[in-house]
């Protein structure tokens, strides 16, 4: 069962624009009218508060966590809903930058680091070289391949599935790939 949080009235939150002050002067001293619109102020105050602070809702560092998760869907952040709040905010903040380097080794490495909090080991078959003489040897290997290894303190099968989905989305489209999630190496004594 999932629970959904809803924004609503906030006890003690005053309205930045009380309706009672906007009524015609004849209602300024009318206790019933002032109490009635005071109830409306309690309902409208959270909405006005959001509108007053709207720019903060589009900054992943300042927005509420639930809105940051939703904002991540807008910018195509590689999140799955299980990451801690600090990694969620970092992934949403980096999403636009990551789209510019998508399909590159750097983009893949950064996407994995943001999702898991650790640098992956990436092995690929490609290469580039320059030579003044033509017909030199080609760099890399003729058959394309990509292998991503991730070392985590306590790996689970879900981590392998998450890494596979992440690499599938962030790799070059033509590149076959494999992934591996292993336990961190313990320092030898």
Residue 159 burial (CB count, 10 A): 17
- Report how far residue 103's alpha carbon sits from residue 173's, in angstroms, rounded to the nearest whole number: 7
> 3-class DSSP state for residue 97?
helix
Q: Where are the beta strands (DSSP E) in the chain?
A: 121-124, 146-152, 177-183
Q: Where are the domains of the chain?
A: 19-52, 103-132+139-189
SS3 109: helix
Residue pair 123/147 in contact by the 8 Å Cβ criterion: yes
Question: Strand runs (DSSP E) across 82-154, as ranges?
Answer: 121-124, 146-152
- The predicted pLDDT at position 8 comes to 59
Radius of gyration of the chain (CA): 26
pLDDT in tens, the chain (189 residues): 444 455 555 677 778 888 888 889 888 889 999 999 888 888 888 888 888 888 988 999 999 888 899 999 999 888 888 888 998 999 999 998 898 988 888 999 999 998 898 999 999 887 777 778 888 777 778 888 999 999 999 898 999 999 999 999 888 888 899 999 999 876 665
pTM, to two decimals:
0.65
Instruction: Report pLDDT for 149.
Output: 95
CATH topology (fold) of 103-132+139-189: GMP Synthetase; Chain A, domain 3 (3.30.300)
Question: Within 10 A of 110 (CB to CB), how many other CB atoms are there?
Answer: 21
The residues pairing with 122 across neighbouring beta strands, listed in sequence order, are: 148
């Amino acid at each position: 069962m999932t629970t959904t949080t809803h924004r609503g009235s906030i006890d003690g939150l005053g309205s930045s624009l009380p309706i009672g002050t906007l009524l015609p002067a004849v209602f300024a001293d009318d206790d019933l009218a002032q109490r009635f619109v005071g109830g409306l102020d309690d309902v409208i105050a959270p909405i006005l508060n959001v509108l007053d602070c709207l720019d903060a809702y589009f900054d992943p560092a300042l927005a509420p966590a639930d809105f940051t998760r939703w904002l991540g869907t807008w910018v195509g952040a590689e999140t799955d809903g299980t990451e801690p709040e600090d990694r969620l905010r970092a992934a949403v903040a980096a999403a636009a930058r990551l789209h510019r380097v998508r399909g590159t080794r750097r983009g893949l490495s950064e996407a994995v680091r943001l999702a898991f909090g650790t640098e992956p080991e990436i092995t690929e078959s490609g290469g580039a070289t320059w030579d003044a003489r033509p017909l030199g040897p080609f760099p890399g290997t003729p058959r394309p391949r990509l292998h991503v290894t991730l070392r985590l303190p306590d790996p689970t099968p879900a981590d392998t599935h998450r890494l596979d989905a992440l690499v599938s989305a962030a790799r070059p489209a033509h590149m076959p790939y494999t992934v591996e999630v292993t336990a961190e190496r313990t320092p030898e004594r």
